[in-house]
Amino acid sequence: MQNQVISKKDLAGFVDELIKTKAAGEVIGIKSQDGKYNFGPLKKATDLRLDYDISLLPPKKYFFPQMETVLKYEAGKTPKIEAVAAEKSMVIIGVHPFDIRGILLFDAVYGGNNPDPNYFLKRNNSVIIGTDCLNPNPKSFAASMGTAVTEDGFDLMLTDIGDNYFITVGSNKGDQLLKKHARAKAASAADEEKRDRTRKDALKKYKVTLTLKPEDIPQLLDTTWESKVFNDKATTCLSCGSCVMVCPTCVCFDVQDDMALSLKGGERYRRWDSCMLTEFAKVASGENFREHKEQRFRHRMYRKGKYLVERYKYLGCVGCGRCAIACLAEIASPAETYNLLKEVK
């Protein structure tokens, strides 16, 4: 697989070709929406905004939708039950490296001993065309999390190197798509140098910095359980769950039943859930194992910085900054909390 360069015009041609031929399924792309950016179905290449800073929601929603039906049933004396999963082929264009790191964590969580078909019937049928983030959001700290650049998890990765896009080819699937549908040419050593310089320059644009090495976070958290930082921070927490709802690495869900109006049957669906909501760890007896907001706040920080790494080898924070943008109380940024914990313990 040889890396390529493509002119901006030809990239647009490639994208329009994908839209027209549906060669890799529905084309999803990053678009501008009411002054912000979001992923959505792409109608034409010119709607793409590869220069964006951050999308409102991470692209995980295409593999793990906000709500997904997992069972259909007919009620009655002998219920008929059917397990279902929505299968979909997609090409998602414009995914930032840190969001790709989030998807890799999802692959680990939803795979493993009990692989989840509802996730993989979408994930495995999708093509990810990433784009390096050259205009990071002021709340993002991906550079210091080591997630601003990724070497894997994509089929193609686009880097805006001026007149052209550099295309790092990450899979055969990506390679084939390019060969069939794009007018790209082999990248030279000079192009590659341009890509590396562009990436390096972008790293300098991040405004928020984690002041410790990300791999040291689990160890830091070994000694901070009793820290007053959690209580101080959580005092203004609204327990609204917004930080979790926008997070590219938050994997938890709730399961609910919905009976049809006819009462003849219904569906069971799962939907995104949040450990920051008051009732998340409550059991039937009324006992709530994380009753207080500082417990939930701490749990979120530990889950991201320690539990997930220990279980799946991936940190549960990729530094995108969405939680910090979404949080009305301005307390959600993990970088801020980890930095503070490092200082005051």
Partner 1 sequence: MVMQLTAKQSIHLPRLAELTRVDTLSKREKVFEFKFDDGKELGHKPGQFVELSIFGIGEAPISITSSPTRKGSFELAVRATGSVTNKLHTLEKGAKVGIRGPFGNGFPIETLKGKDILFVAGGIGLFPLRSLINYVLDKRKDFGEVTTLFGCRSPIERLFINQLQEWNACKDMCFLETVDTCPDDSWKGNVGVITTLFTKVSFDPNKTYAVVVGPPIMYRFVIAECLKKGLADDHIIMSLERRMKCGVGKCGHCQINGLYVCQEGPVFTYAQVKSLKEAV
**What tokens appear for 114 in the block?**
């009990």
Per-residue contact string for residues 135-154; x = within reach of partner 1 by CB under 8 A? --------------------
Pick 164 or 242: Cβ nearer partner 1: 242
- The region of 5-13, 41-49, 295-303, 324-332 touching partner 1 under the rule CB under 8 A is 295-303
- For the beta carbon of residue 58, count every other beta carbon within 10 angstroms: 25
Q: Does 117 bind partner 1 (CB under 8 A)?
A: yes
Q: Which of 37, 110, 165, 297 binds partner 1 (CB under 8 A)?
A: 110
Per-residue contact string for residues 182-221; x = within reach of partner 1 by CB under 8 A? ----------------------------------------
How far apart, in whole angstroms, are the C-alpha atoms of residue 150 and residue 264? 49
Pick 308 or 325: Cβ nearer partner 1: 308
Q: Which of 52, 39, 50 is nearest to 248 (CA)?
A: 39
For the beta sheet containing 265-272, the strands, ordered from the edge strand earlier in sequence to the opposite edge, are: 67-74, 265-272, 253-259
- Interaction with partner 1 in 303-342: which residues (CB under 8 A)? 303, 306-308, 310-311
State in angstroms the smallest separation of the CB of 226 from partner 1.
10
- What is the bridge-based pairing of β-strands 126-131 and 90-95? parallel
Q: Which of 63, 166, 230, 302 binds partner 1 (CB under 8 A)?
A: 302
Return the C-alpha torsion angle 332, 334, 335, 341, nearest 10: 110
Q: Does 299 bind partner 1 (CB under 8 A)?
A: yes
Q: Total binding residues for partner 1 by CB under 8 A?
A: 59
- The region of 35-43, 48-56, 70-78, 326-334 touching partner 1 under the rule CB under 8 A is 70-78
Q: Which of 35, 77, 186, 343 binds partner 1 (CB under 8 A)?
A: 77
Q: Does 75 bind partner 1 (CB under 8 A)?
A: yes
Q: Does 280 bind partner 1 (CB under 8 A)?
A: yes
With H, G, I as helix, E, B as strand and everything else as coil, classify residue 224.
coil
Q: Which of 156, 167, 140, 159 is nearest to 200 (CA)?
A: 159
Pick 113 or 204: Cβ nearer partner 1: 113
Strand partners, 27: 91
Q: Which of 57, 108, 212, 281 binds partner 1 (CB under 8 A)?
A: 281
Chain center to CA of 156: 17
Burial 295-315, CB ≥16 within 10 A → b, else e? bbbbbbbbbbbbebbeebebb
Spell out the residues 6+ positions from residue 148 whose beta carbon is closer than 8 angstroms to its own: 97, 98, 132, 133, 136, 142, 199, 202, 203, 206, 319
Q: Which of 334, 310, 329, 331 is nearest to 98 (CA)?
A: 334
How far apart, in whole angstroms, are the C-alpha atoms of residue 202 and residue 273? 34
Surface-to-core class of residue 343, CB atoms within 10 Å of its CB (0-12 exposed, 13-18 middle, 19+ buried): exposed
Q: Does 85 bind partner 1 (CB under 8 A)?
A: yes
**What tokens appear for 290 in the block?**
């994380």
Pick 233 or 303: Cβ nearer partner 1: 303
Pick 110 or 154: Cβ nearer partner 1: 110
- Interaction with partner 1 in 240-279: which residues (CB under 8 A)? 251-257, 259, 263, 265-266, 268, 270, 273, 275
- The region of 177-185, 189-197, 206-214, 281-289 touching partner 1 under the rule CB under 8 A is 281-289
By CB under 8 A, name the binding residues for partner 1.
69-71, 73, 75, 77-79, 81-88, 109-110, 112-114, 116-118, 121, 225, 251-257, 259, 263, 265-266, 268, 270, 273, 275, 280-285, 287, 289-290, 295, 299, 302-303, 306-308, 310-311
